[in-house]
Amino acid sequence: MTSFILKRSLSSNFTQVSNGFIQDNKISILARGLGVFLLSKPNNWVINQENISKELEIGRDKLKKIFNELIIHGYMHKCRHTTFAKKNEQSVFYYISDSKEYLYEEIISRDIKSNLTTYEQNTLIPLTKNPLPENSFTKNPADNIDININYLSSKNKENIKKENNNKYDSLFLDYLNFHLDEITKNNVLKIAPKISLEEFKTIFEKCQVEYKLGYSKNINSTLILALKKEWRFQSDRKISDQLEKDRKTLKINVRYFKELYLETRETHDEIVSRFRVACSKCVKELIDEYEAILREELSSLNETSSNFM
């Protein structure tokens, strides 16, 4: 029998989940497991952290951390809807999908559009003396997130007009939509309005490393502090320390295998092969760098020997 993974053909009581989500190694197995659990529920099943915590016997803090991970990586969206039965109390609702693109198209983009409509009704109407131009709101609501931020702030009309002329790059906005919740996204746009997509990616990836190594308890808060230049990346120091340690190891091995060559007179390739095996746990780029140094040292030894003959 050659099959190790046994699958049945089911016609009822089963869940279809994208392999792209299940095999996404950027998120933890706990987050993927919770995602599959939620995706197995009916479409109208309300995602309630307290109920899930009891059913799965997961602590609230740990569950919140898993939710944040799914939100950050674009598989879950958190938003607020007004429940009129509770005197306009704002209630938090969660949406989840095994496709980031589908979640954005069906939920996130509509939520952004809804927010824009609300701000237009509640905030822009009083500004009748200086109405907005007809093209202020484009077909893609994500392009107008900066407008939300401008009108939520208390800046004067002149600054608002000036800032509205500086539209954010659509790719940058898409990246934020897929990886951040609404609050964090808006804070990012306020704190770093001129940051490029590549610059943001670099900082965001470093924040993810901080989180995975346990230096950060919340990626969102770490990201905001990093953009404010108030976060000291401990992972940078760890990586720097590791590189320094590898350099010392490689230097010692260069001396050792140089002496070994003098004793055994093996070929250069044999010595270098042994060197690479001994240093296999070091960073590959450094191994290549010090291999070149070792080969140069071995060549100089051959030239010295030839001069004495």
In a domain, residue 189? The reply is: no
Q: Which domain CATH number covers 24?
A: 1.10.10.10
Asked, for residue 217, whether it belongs to a domain, the answer is no
**pTM beyond 0.75:** no
Count of other CB atoms within 10 angstroms of residue 21? 21
Q: pLDDT band for position 56 (50/70/90)?
A: very high
Residue 175 belongs to some domain of the structure: no
Do the domain assignments include residue 20? Answer: yes
Mean pLDDT of the 245-273 span: 88
What pLDDT is stored for residue 153 in this prediction? 46
User: Which structural domain range is residue 249 located in?
Assistant: 235-308
Which of 32, 64, 98 is the last residue before a domain boundary? Answer: 98
Tell the residue number behind the tokens 């009748």, with chain if given: 128
- Which among 51, 67, 98 is the end of a domain? 98
Last residue of one domain, picked from the residues 70, 98, 126: 98
- Determine the pLDDT at residue 128: 36
Give the mean pLDDT of the chain. 77
Is 205 domain-assigned? no
Rounded to the nearest angstrom, the gap between the alpha carbon of residue 296 and the centroid of all alpha carbons in its chain is: 42
Q: What is the DSSP letter of 41?
A: S
147 contact partners, CB below 8 Å, separation of at least 6: 116, 119, 136, 137, 164
Asked whether residue 74 is assigned to any structural domain, the reply reads: yes
Segment 208-228, tens digit of pLDDT? 888 877 788 888 888 999 999
Number of domains in the chain: 2
Could you tell me the two tokens for 232?
């000291």
Residue 294 lies in a domain: yes
pLDDT of residue 304: 63
Three-state secondary-structure class, residue 176: helix
Please check whether residue 144 lies inside any domain of the structure.
no
Using 50, 70 and 90 to split pLDDT, how confident is the model at 168?
Answer: low
221: which DSSP letter?
Answer: H
pLDDT(63) > 70:
yes
Q: How many CB atoms lie within 10 A of CB 81?
A: 11
Q: How far is CA 91 from CA 79, 86, 103, 181, in A?
A: 8, 9, 20, 16
Q: Which two tokens stand for residue 110?
A: 């509509």
pLDDT score recorded for residue 115: 57
> What is the chain's percent helix, strand, coil content, to nearest 5?
65, 5, 30
| Range from 127-136, 160-169, 280-289, 290-299 that averages highest in pLDDT | 290-299
